[in-house]
């Protein structure tokens, strides 16, 4: 019997919300039950779309629900959100079938008593779909209507919207939210050196598949979602999927032939692969992470790209088992992930502003440990995939105050969706003084 895609979507979202697994890992597991690529695509659309537009979906549901959402069982609310998203955004299945699937899903999730409630709410949403309206784009620069529009119609937490407005203004904040809600492009790079003839062939195949060369990130190509699968296998085998921001961070390390490099928090391994190639056969790379599952992914990536590296399990918040011997140290620190909402839409609902100081405290501890491994004259690159200054410039400024043996080499790298059309990444290059 073919499993229900809507039920699988509900279970995936519930697992992600519970913290039992990351949304990406749970989605990957759920996809295995659906051999048909169309079904896999729908599963992805239902989960990611419901998360992207949860604020707008909740605004649509609210007039038909007589009690606070917090009083509705989590499984029931999740099914209602998926059903409402599908009724308003997708046309693959007739409305009555969407409602019926939702009712069966809530029963399968052991909430049979809520079946009538789910049926009634979704039928009401469908009946009123042509008259339900959300706040339109304000014609004023007044802050309050913009917060309402961005948080409701463009579906972002109010606290995050306020930060976007402070940083980017109304037009920038709107562009930022729209970027986060769009289906992301896929970024790839060629995995190995090749002849000019091979490079020309690969680039021609990429263009044929709809890819364009990035104007921001040297060597990166942007592909529409799903286009990678259309490439012939020999070309696919020469490509690695890696976010442009991640590629830019690796390039900021400035590795050259013969360098001794330490990559802390290295999984999934794309940056390590780039660093190993830059260091060449005369260099040395040590790639680290702390969790066994991430170490396994790291090893797989390095093996797939055929690059040599020593892989070590290390907790980077504790003193490192190295002296000050590395020419280059990269710390791409665990962070809030608020810069990658476009790829991980669950992040915007999982984070609260009071979590940022906790992330920053861990990042400062890691940065202090990483600094001890940098040789005199060596370079320490601190990076995050966060958009928030508490985790970025504030961490670096505090580090430089605490450790005057280091200085900033150049302006920090800060990509931003509204300005650069990229996820928000940050990187600071910190150099240890020769006499330190």
Q: What pLDDT digit, counting tens, does each position of 284-313 carry?
A: 999 999 999 899 999 999 999 988 889 999
Kindly state the average pLDDT of the residues 200-227. 92
Query: Which carries the bigger pLDDT value, residue 19 or residue 68?
Result: 68
Predicted model pTM: 0.94
| Residue 387 tokens, joined | 């958009």
Give the residue numbers marked as catalytic: 385
pLDDT higher for 282 or 21?
282
Phi, psi (5° rounding) for residue 168? Answer: -125, -5
Q: Is 3.40.50.150 the CATH classification of the domain at 244-432?
A: yes
Residue 281 is encoded by which pair of tokens?
Answer: 């056969």
Per-residue pLDDT, averaged over 122-128, amounts to 95
- Residue 412 binned pLDDT confidence (cut-offs 50, 70, 90): very high
For the chain, domain boundaries: 5-127, 143-181, 186-241, 244-432
Alpha-carbon distances of 20 from 10, 82, 291, rounded to whole Å: 14, 20, 15
Ramachandran sector of residue 169 (left: φ over 0; alpha: ψ -120 to 50; beta: rest): left
Residues ≥6 apart with Cβ < 8 Å to 179 = 342, 417, 418, 421
221-231 confidence digits (pLDDT tens): 999 988 898 99
Could you say which of 1.10.287, 3.30.450, 3.30.70, 3.30.310 is the CATH number of the domain covering 186-241?
A: 3.30.70
Determine the Cα–Cα distance for residues 205 and 224; give it in Å rounded to an integer: 14
Say how far apart CA 229 and CA 421 lie, in whole Å: 24
The proportion of the chain whose per-residue pLDDT surpasses 70, expressed as a percent, equals 98
Query: Which segment of 50-59, 194-203, 390-399 scores lowest on mean pLDDT?
Result: 194-203
| Average predicted confidence (pLDDT) for the chain | 94
Strand-strand pairing, 212-213 and 260-264: unpaired
Give me the mean pLDDT over the 359-365 stretch.
98
**Band of pLDDT at residue 1, cut at 50, 70 and 90:** very low
pLDDT tens, position by position, 141-192: 899 999 999 999 999 999 999 999 999 999 999 999 999 999 999 999 998 7
Indicate the class that CATH gives domain 5-127: mainly alpha
Contact in structure between 267 and 311 (CB atoms under 8 Å)? no
* pLDDT value at residue 19: 72
Distance CA(394)–CA(187), nearest Å, equals 29
């Amino acid at each position: 019997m073919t499993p229900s895609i809507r039920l699988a979507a509900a279970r995936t979202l519930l697992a992600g919300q519970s913290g039992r697994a990351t949304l990406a890992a749970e989605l990957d597991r759920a996809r295995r039950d659906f051999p048909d690529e169309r079904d896999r695509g729908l599963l992805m659309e239902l989960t990611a779309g419901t998360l992207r537009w949860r604020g707008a979906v909740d605004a649509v549901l609210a007039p038909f629900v007589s009690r606070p959402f917090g009083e509705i069982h989590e499984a029931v609310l999740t099914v209602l959100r998926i059903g409402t998203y599908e009724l308003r955004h997708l046309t693959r299945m007739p409305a009555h079938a969407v409602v019926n699937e939702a009712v069966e899903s809530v029963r399968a999730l052991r909430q049979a008593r809520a079946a009538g409630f789910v049926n009634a709410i979704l039928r009401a949403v469908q009946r009123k779909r042509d008259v339900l309206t959300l706040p339109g784009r304000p014609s004023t620069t007044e802050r309050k209507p913009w917060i309402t529009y961005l948080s409701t119609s463009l579906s972002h937490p109010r606290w995050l919207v306020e930060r976007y407005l402070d940083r980017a203004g109304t037009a920038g904040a709107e562009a930022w939210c729209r970027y986060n809600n769009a289906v992301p492009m896929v970024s790839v790079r060629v995995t190995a050196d090749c002849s000019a003839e091979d490079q020309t062939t690969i680039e021609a195949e990429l263009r044929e598949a709809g890819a364009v060369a990035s104007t921001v990130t040297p060597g990166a190509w942007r592909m529409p979602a799903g286009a990678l699968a259309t490439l012939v296998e020999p070309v696919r085998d020469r490509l690695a999927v890696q976010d442009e921001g991640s590629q830019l961070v690796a390039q900021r390390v400035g590795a050259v032939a013969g360098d001794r490099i330490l990559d802390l928090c290295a999984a999934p391994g794309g940056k390590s692969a780039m660093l190993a190639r830059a260091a060449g056969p005369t260099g040395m790379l040590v790639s680290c992470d702390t969790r066994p599952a991430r170490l396994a992914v790291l090893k797989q990536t390095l093996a797939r790209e055929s690059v040599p590296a020593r892989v070590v399990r290390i907790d980077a918040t504790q003193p490192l088992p190295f002296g000050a011997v590395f020419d280059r140290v990269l710390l791409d620190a665990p962070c809030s992930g608020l810069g990658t909402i476009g790829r991980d839409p669950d992040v915007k609902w999982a984070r609260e502003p009071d979590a940022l100081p906790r992330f920053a405290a861990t990042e400062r501890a890691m940065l202090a440990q990483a600094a001890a491994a940098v040789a005199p004259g060596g370079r320490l690159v601190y990076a995050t995939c966060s958009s928030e200054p508490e985790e970025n410039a504030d961490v670096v400024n505090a580090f430089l105050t605490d450790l005057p043996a280091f200085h900033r080499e150049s302006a920090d790298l800060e990509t931003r969706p509204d300005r650069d059309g990229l996820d928000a990444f940050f990187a600071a290059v910190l150099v240890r003084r020769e006499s330190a």
